[in-house]
Amino acid sequence: MNKKYQLPVLFVASALLIIISTLIPSEKSTWLGVLQTLLLGIGLLGGCRAFWRFIHGGKKKG
């Protein structure tokens, strides 16, 4: 994937995972609660990773 589009795609995918996790009715089943927690965790980690890349993207090594 082109590096130009890598950060926005990571951010959008993270946001979608967080949105999907809020739509899961976790009250109905323990496994749905586990799935909701996993999706939310992955979404938050992806969002933090995208933010970290954004912050450090402008700095040049050397």
pLDDT at 54: 84
Q: Are 17 and 37 in contact (CB under 8 A)?
A: no
Helices (H), the chain: 3-23, 30-57
Comparing 60 with 38, the larger pLDDT belongs to 38
Does any domain span residue 5?
no
How much is the average pLDDT of 9-36? Answer: 88
3 state SS of 59: coil
Does any domain span residue 8?
no
Q: Count how many domains the chain has.
A: 1
- Here the tokens at position 19 are 């949105």
Q: How far apart are CA 39 and CA 32, in angstroms?
A: 10
Does any domain span residue 3?
no
pLDDT at 42: 92
Average pLDDT, the chain: 84
Domain hosting 20: range is 14-57
pLDDT at 6: 79
Q: How far apart are CA 42 and CA 2, in angstroms?
A: 23
Q: How far apart are CA 38 and CA 54, in angstroms?
A: 24
Q: Categorize the per-residue pLDDT at 60 as very low, low, confident or very high, splitting at 50, 70 and 90.
A: low
